[in-house]
């Protein structure tokens, strides 16, 4: 994991499910997306994965803001267009890459994703990596559900997870 002291840019974007905090690097890549009600968790995640980089208020690239606005407006394929820098352990990176491949409108269980990654017994590790995802929504951790179809934990809260899944056309209780 490369740590940086180069400033990171913090922007805010109003969405139907709250104000999103967008963190981008000097290359214009999205490094983190979280919610204003979880800003302290975002700060901890940034320190863990990117070191002591200062966080300065600055606008995210227009293309990222537009893609997120379009996603929340119903153009669901826009998440795939967002360029990201996702630092993590090799296992986390594998999980997060696999999450980005789950098609819009579908869900997987933690166990199914673990099996797809070649580690069927690693469902708890997949759950932990999923919970450590610094890029909420863009790396669609909300698409993982319990083996029984239950909406299990979501870092942004179960109501946000429910909204995101319904927004993507998934029937949820």
The residues that are catalytic are 141
Q: Which residues of 39-58 are buried (b: 16+ CB within 10 A; e: fewer)?
A: eeebeebbeebbeebebeee
């Amino acid at each position: 994991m490369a740590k940086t002291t180069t400033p990171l840019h913090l922007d805010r974007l109003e969405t139907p499910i709250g104000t999103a905090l967008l963190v981008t690097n000097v290359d214009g890549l999205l490094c983190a997306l979280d919610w204003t009600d979880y800003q302290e968790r975002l700060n901890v995640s940034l320190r863990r994965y990117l070191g002591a980089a200062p966080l300065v208020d600055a606008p995210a690239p227009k293309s990222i803001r537009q893609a997120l606005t379009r996603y929340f407006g119903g153009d669901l394929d826009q998440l795939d267009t967002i360029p990201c820098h996702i630092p993590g352990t090799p296992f986390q990176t594998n999980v997060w890459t696999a999450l980005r491949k789950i098609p819009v409108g579908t869900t997987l269980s933690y166990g199914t994703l673990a099996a797809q990654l070649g580690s069927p017994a690693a469902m708890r590790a997949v759950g932990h990596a999923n919970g450590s995802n610094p890029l909420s929504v863009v790396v669609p951790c909300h698409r993982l559900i319990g083996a029984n179809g239950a909406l299990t934990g979501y870092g942004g809260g179960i109501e946000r997870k429910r909204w995101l899944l319904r927004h993507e056309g998934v029937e949820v209780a």
